[in-house]
C-alpha cells in the first residue's frame, strides 16, 4: 500500500477503538476451527453436517442457528469479553463488505487434513480457512485503506483463536470403516503429522500479520456419547481413545513454544481445555453439572450423533455436559472460556486478559 502524506498523518487512527462507545480490548477477533467454533459457515455449504435447525441455537439470541450447541460457543464468550460482536461466518458476507471487527472461518466436520470429514459433504479445512483469511486481508485493506492506514498494527493487536484437530480423530483416525489412517500411522506418528501440518498453517497466519494466536487442545474425545454409546461402554470414558488423542495435546506446547521463539513478535498461546473438560465429566457436581454422559437433545442413532430436528431438548440444559452426541452445552463452553480469559495456567503463558495488554 502506498502512503500519501495525509495518510501518514492519520496513520495513528485506529478505527475500531474510536468508532465505538464501548471499550474494546482488541480491534478484531478472528476465529478458525471446526464445529466447536463454527458460527454458521456450514449453512452455506453442501453438507449434512449442519446445525441450522432447532433445537440447535435454542438458547442463543433470536434462537438463530448454525452453531452446534444450544447457545454461545467459546468464541462467542471471548468476543463478549473483548467487547466485540460475535464473529460472523465468513461465508455469510460478500467479499467487498467484510466487517473490521473479525470473522469466523470455522467449519463443522473439517480438520487439519484435507480428507477429514469428506463423507459428510463439503467443509473448510484449516488450510482453506487460512486461505480465506488471506483473501479477507486483501479485501479489508482495499475497503478500509482510508481509515485504517496502519493495517499491520490492526492485525497484530487482533486476537486469533483456533480449535481444530478433533475431527482428524472423530471423522478420520477413529473412523476405521472409512479411513485407513490408523493402519498407516501409529497414534504418535499421526499426532506428529497433525501437529506438523498445523504448525505450517499457524506460521502462514503469522506471515499474514497475526501475532496473538490462541490454539486450543483437543477435548476428551473418549468421553463423547458418540464413543461411549457406540462401544456400549458402561464407564464415563473410553480411556484408550483419550490416550490416542493425548499424543496430539502433548506435542502442542513444544510446537507453540517453538513458533513463539522463532517468529519475532508472536505469542502462540496454548488453551489447556482438556484438563478442565475431563474433570467436569469425572467430577460434574464440582461444576454444577448433573449429567455428564447423556446428550440433552434427542440425537440420531440412539444419542450418538446430531440432534433430531425440532424435538424438544431436555428441560435442564444447564445441568448437562453434552448437548448432542459430539458437542458440549453452552455451560461447558462458558467454563472453558472463562478459564482462558482469567487463568494463566489454563491459557499459557498468557491468559486472554493479559494477552490483550501485550
Ligand atoms: C436479534 O434480533 C434483533 C431484532 O430483529 C436484531 O436487531 C438483532 O441484531 C438480532 N441479534 C442477533 C445477534 O442476531
Ligand atoms: C442406546 O443407548 C443406551 C444408553 O447408552 C443403551 O443402554 C442402549 O442399549 C442403547 N440402545 C441400543 C439399541 O443400542
Ligand atoms: C522447532 O523448530 C525447529 C526449526 O524449525 C524444528 O526443527 C523442530 O522440529 C521444531 N520442534 C517442534 C517441537 O516443533
Ligand atoms: C419438560 O417439561 C415439560 C413441561 O413442564 C414437560 O411436559 C416435558 O415432559 C418435560 N420434558 C422432559 C424431557 O422432561
Ligand atoms: C487454572 O487452570 C489450571 C489448569 O487448567 C487449573 O488446574 C486450575 O485449577 C485453574 N485455577 C483456577 C483458579 O480455576
Write the pLDDT tens digit of every residue in 33-73: 999 999 999 999 999 999 999 999 999 998 888 999 999 99
Write the pLDDT tens digit of every residue in 27-41: 999 999 999 999 999
First to last CA, the chain: 26
Assigned domain for 16 exists: no
Cα(337)–Cα(38) distance, rounded to whole angstroms?
15
Q: What is the CATH number of the domain that holds 199?
A: 3.40.50.1110
Write the pLDDT tens digit of every residue in 120-131: 999 999 999 999
320 C-beta closer than 6 A to ligand 2:
no
Is 279 catalytic? The answer is no
User: Residue 198: which residues within 8 A CB-CB, separation 6 or more?
Assistant: 112, 126, 164, 165, 215, 255
Q: Find, among 241, 243, 244, 223, the residue nearest to 325 by Cα.
A: 223
Which residue's CA is minimally distant from atom 10 of ligand 2?
302
Residue span of the structural domain in which 75 resides:
29-355
Q: From the CA of 194, how far away is ligand 3's center (Å)?
A: 14
Would you call 110 helix, strand, or coil by DSSP? coil
The C-alpha cell that represents 300 in the structure block: 440420531
Q: Cα separations (Å) of 14 from 55, 100, 134, 144, 284? A: 40, 11, 21, 11, 44
Backbone angles phi, psi at 110, to 5 degrees: -95, 170
Q: Are the beta carbons of 273 and 332 closer than 8 angstroms?
A: no
Give me the pLDDT at residue 147, please. 87
User: Residue 95: which residues within 8 A CB-CB, separation 6 or more?
Assistant: 135, 136, 139
Assigned domain for 55 exists: yes
Give the residue, out of 225, 226, 229, with the most ligand 2 atoms within 8 A of its beta carbon, to mutate for a pocket test: 229
Assigned domain for 1 exists: no
Assigned domain for 15 exists: no
- In DSSP terms, 31 is beta-bridged to 104, 161
Assigned domain for 103 exists: yes
Is 272 catalytic? The answer is no
Assigned domain for 23 exists: no
Look up the pTM and report it. Answer: 0.92
- How many structural domains comprise the chain? 1
Q: Is the pLDDT of residue 172 over 90?
A: yes
- In DSSP terms, 291 is beta-bridged to 320
b vs e for 322-344, b when ≥16 Cβ sit within 10 Å of the residue's Cβ?
Answer: bbbbbbbbbbbbbbbbbbbbeee
Assigned domain for 83 exists: yes
**Mean pLDDT, the chain, as a whole number?**
93
Instruction: Name the pairing type of β-strands 29-33 and 212-216.
Output: unpaired
Q: Is the pLDDT of residue 2 over 70?
A: no
Q: Calculate the dihedral angle through the C-alpha atoms of 307, 293, 287, 335, rounding to the nearest 10 degrees.
A: -40
Count of other CB atoms within 10 angstroms of residue 38:
31
Instruction: Report residue 354 CA to chain centroid gap.
Output: 20
Mark out the alpha helices in the chain (DSSP H runs). 5-9, 15-19, 74-82, 126-144, 151-157, 166-168, 181-184, 187-208, 225-228, 239-262, 273-282, 300-303, 330-342, 352-355
Write the pLDDT tens digit of every residue in 195-247: 999 999 999 999 999 999 999 999 999 999 999 999 999 889 999 999 999 99
Is 324 catalytic? The answer is yes
Assigned domain for 8 exists: no
231 C-beta closer than 6 A to ligand 2:
no
Give me the pLDDT at residue 3, please. 38
Amino acid at each position: 500500500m502506498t502512503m500519501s502524506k495525509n495518510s501518514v498523518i492519520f496513520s495513528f487512527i485506529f478505527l475500531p477503538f474510536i468508532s465505538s462507545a464501548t471499550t474494546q480490548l482488541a480491534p478484531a477477533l478472528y476465529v478458525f476451527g471446526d464445529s466447536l467454533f463454527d458460527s454458521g459457515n456450514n449453512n452455506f455449504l453442501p453438507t449434512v453436517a449442519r446445525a441450522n435447525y432447532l433445537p440447535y441455537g435454542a438458547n442463543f439470541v433470536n434462537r438463530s442457528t448454525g452453531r452446534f450447541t444450544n447457545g454461545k460457543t467459546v468464541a462467542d464468550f471471548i468476543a463478549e469479553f473483548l467487547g466485540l460482536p460475535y464473529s460472523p461466518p465468513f461465508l455469510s458476507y460478500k467479499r467487498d463488505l467484510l466487517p473490521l471487527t473479525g470473522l469466523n472461518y470455522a467449519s463443522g466436520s473439517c480438520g487439519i487434513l484435507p480428507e477429514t470429514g469428506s463423507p459428510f459433504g463439503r467443509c473448510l479445512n484449516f488450510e482453506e480457512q487460512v486461505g480465506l483469511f488471506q483473501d479477507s486481508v486483501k479485501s479489508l485493506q482495499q475497503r478500509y485503506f482510508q481509515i485504517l492506514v496502519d493495517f499491520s498494527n490492526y492485525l497484530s493487536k487482533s486476537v486469533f483463536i483456533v480449535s481444530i484437530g478433533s475431527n482428524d480423530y472423530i471423522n478420520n483416525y477413529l473412523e476405521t470403516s472409512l479411513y485407513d489412517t490408523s493402519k498407516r500411522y501409529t497414534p504418535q506418528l499421526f499426532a506428529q503429522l497433525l501437529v506438523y501440518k498445523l504448525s505450517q498453517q499457524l506460521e502462514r497466519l503469522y506471515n499474514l500479520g497475526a501475532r496473538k494466536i490462541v490454539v486450543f487442545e483437543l477435548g476428551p474425545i473418549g468421553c463423547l456419547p458418540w464413543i461411549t454409546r457406540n462401544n456400549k461402554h458402561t464407564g464415563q470414558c473410553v480411556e484408550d481413545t483419550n490416550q490416542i488423542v493425548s499424543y496430539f495435546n502433548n506435542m502442542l506446547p513444544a510446537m507453540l513454544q517453538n513458533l513463539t521463539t522463532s517468529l519475532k513478535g508472536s505469542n502462540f498461546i496454548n488453551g489447556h481445555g482438556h484438563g478442565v473438560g475431563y474433570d467436569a465429566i469425572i467430577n460434574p457436581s464440582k461444576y454444577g453439572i448433573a449429567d455428564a454422559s447423556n446428550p440433552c437433545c434427542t440425537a440420531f442413532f440412539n444419542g450418538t450423533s446430531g440432534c433430531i430436528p425440532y424435538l424438544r431438548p431436555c428441560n435442564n440444559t444447564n445441568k448437562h455436559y453434552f448437548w448432542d452426541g459430539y458437542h458440549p452445552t453452552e455451560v461447558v463452553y462458558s467454563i472453558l472460556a472463562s478459564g482462558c480469559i482469567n487463568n494463566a495456567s489454563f491459557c499459557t503463558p498468557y491468559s486472554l486478559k493479559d494477552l490483550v495488554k501485550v
